[in-house]
Amino acid sequence: MPPADISAAARAAYTGAMRRPLVVLLALLVLLGGGSFALWFWTVGRLAAGFDAWAADAQAQGWTVQAAGRHRAGWPLAAELVLDGVTLRAGPEVLPGGAEYRAGRVVLHISPLSPDLLTLRLEGTQSLRAFGGPALPFTADQLGIDVPLATPEPVRLSGHQLRFTAPAEGMTIGLLDGQAQPGREALTLELSGEAITLPPPPAPQPALGGHIASVTVTAALDGALPPPGGDPQARLAAWQHAGGMLRVQDMALGWGPLGVTGTAAIGLDAGLQPTGTATLRVVGYDAALSALAAGHVVTPQAAQAIRAVLALMARTPEGGGIPQVDLPVALEDGVLRVGRIPVGKVPQWDWSAAR
């Protein structure tokens, strides 16, 4: 505080001197705030332009991309473009049977702490339909996709507590993870789900129980995919002639008493029917066969016969543990074989019905 006995002129000079730093500080704050807002506005604009370019490219590939509305959000903590009522659709000329994804809201998010990472938050009621199947509506506590912008790292998917409604009413997926990375020779995919609950009654109940502990698949899709348009059979034939094949490099399933791991290679034969081989390692087959017999999936006699054959093939791991069986599986000319034993006939796929 200034002394009480100074003159009015000195008092005014003192007060002015005290105000100048405050004015400068206020001006700096305004400049910083304005610069921050301008940067946010520019970044969201770039997000919108990037989305429009991606949508145009997808539409050139035969997809339909729609958004009922959009607006800017996130300032000052992040740059966000919010898309409402999003639909992504492909006809049978792109994928057999077509495909469609819907989301109540998709948020494109870039944080100033990670400017090279684009995060897509998928929110609201969503639905997924593929290969001619029914649409499966669901919601999720969290579902997102991370897209690196400046590095060749894979695109990553993560989700928590997916809850499905009719026609899969009551189905839930506790944890969902995946990633995809396109390459010159193949598209590499990984997908895993944990704590999966299948639809309860009145839906049919599987013999192995309504809970799947985990399922994991790591695969590579070989062969260049032909451009969309034209006859799906001709496109599949072109992919097959280009060496098209799905190589399952690793798969694992834990369902009730059954545990299965293995690898596989699946392609198309000259008639565009599925063909391939797999090697499976199975544990818990004894309890699984009992459950299948109790669920009337196989007869008790058949379960006993299969159990006897598997017991001859089983081996106990070094150091002890549950016996395990290695099974070679082949699909050729519509016949599924385990070892040299035919176990079933696979119906031929009518590609024309997938239009």
Mean pLDDT in residue range 35-42: 76
DSSP structure class, residue 197: E
Q: Find all residues with CB under 8 Å of 196, minimum gap 6, and list them.
A: 171, 172, 173, 174, 211, 212, 213, 214, 215
Q: For residue 9, what pLDDT is reported?
A: 58
Residue with tokens 């992040």: 78
Give the type of residue at 216. Answer: T
Tell me the C-alpha distance between 171 and 205, whole Å.
12
How high is the mean pLDDT of the chain? 86
Q: For residue 170, what pLDDT is reported?
A: 95
Mean pLDDT in residue range 14-42: 57
Structure tokens at 257: 């008493």
Q: For residue 23, what pLDDT is reported?
A: 52
Tell me the C-alpha distance between 174 and 212, whole Å.
10
- pLDDT tens, residue by residue, 270-323: 888 999 999 999 999 999 999 999 998 888 988 888 888 888 889 888 887 888
Q: What percent of the chain shows pLDDT beyond 90?
A: 52
Lowest mean pLDDT among 128-137, 233-242, 299-308, 320-329: 233-242
Q: For residue 190, what pLDDT is reported?
A: 96
| Cα 354-275-221 angle, rounded to 5 deg | 75
pLDDT > 50? residue 30: no
pLDDT > 70? residue 99: yes
DSSP structure class, residue 135: -
- pLDDT tens, residue by residue, 48-64: 999 999 999 999 888 99
Q: For residue 241, what pLDDT is reported?
A: 86
Q: For residue 319, what pLDDT is reported?
A: 80
Instruction: With 0.85 as the threshold, say if the pTM is over it.
Output: no
Higher pLDDT: 185 or 355? It is 185
Q: For residue 107, what pLDDT is reported?
A: 96
Q: For residue 120, what pLDDT is reported?
A: 96
| Cα 310-316-319 angle, rounded to 5 deg | 170
- pLDDT tens, residue by residue, 237-255: 888 888 889 999 999 999 9
The torsion angle over the Cα atoms of residues 101, 105, 108 and 113, rounded to 10 degrees, is -130
Q: For residue 162, what pLDDT is reported?
A: 97
Q: For residue 321, what pLDDT is reported?
A: 81
Higher pLDDT: 20 or 144? It is 144
Q: For residue 31, what pLDDT is reported?
A: 43
Q: Find all residues with CB under 8 Å of 190, minimum gap 6, and list them.
A: 177, 178, 179, 180, 216, 217, 218, 219
Lowest mean pLDDT among 28-32, 51-55, 193-197: 28-32
* Domain ranges within the chain, ordered by starting residue: 6-166, 183-355
pLDDT > 90? residue 43: no
Q: For residue 122, what pLDDT is reported?
A: 97
Mean pLDDT in residue range 140-157: 92
In 3D space, the residue among 93, 172, 88, 171 whose CA is nearest the CA of residue 129 turns out to be 88
Q: For residue 342, what pLDDT is reported?
A: 82
Q: For residue 253, what pLDDT is reported?
A: 97
Confidence of residue 353 (pLDDT cuts 50, 70, 90): low
DSSP structure class, residue 23: H
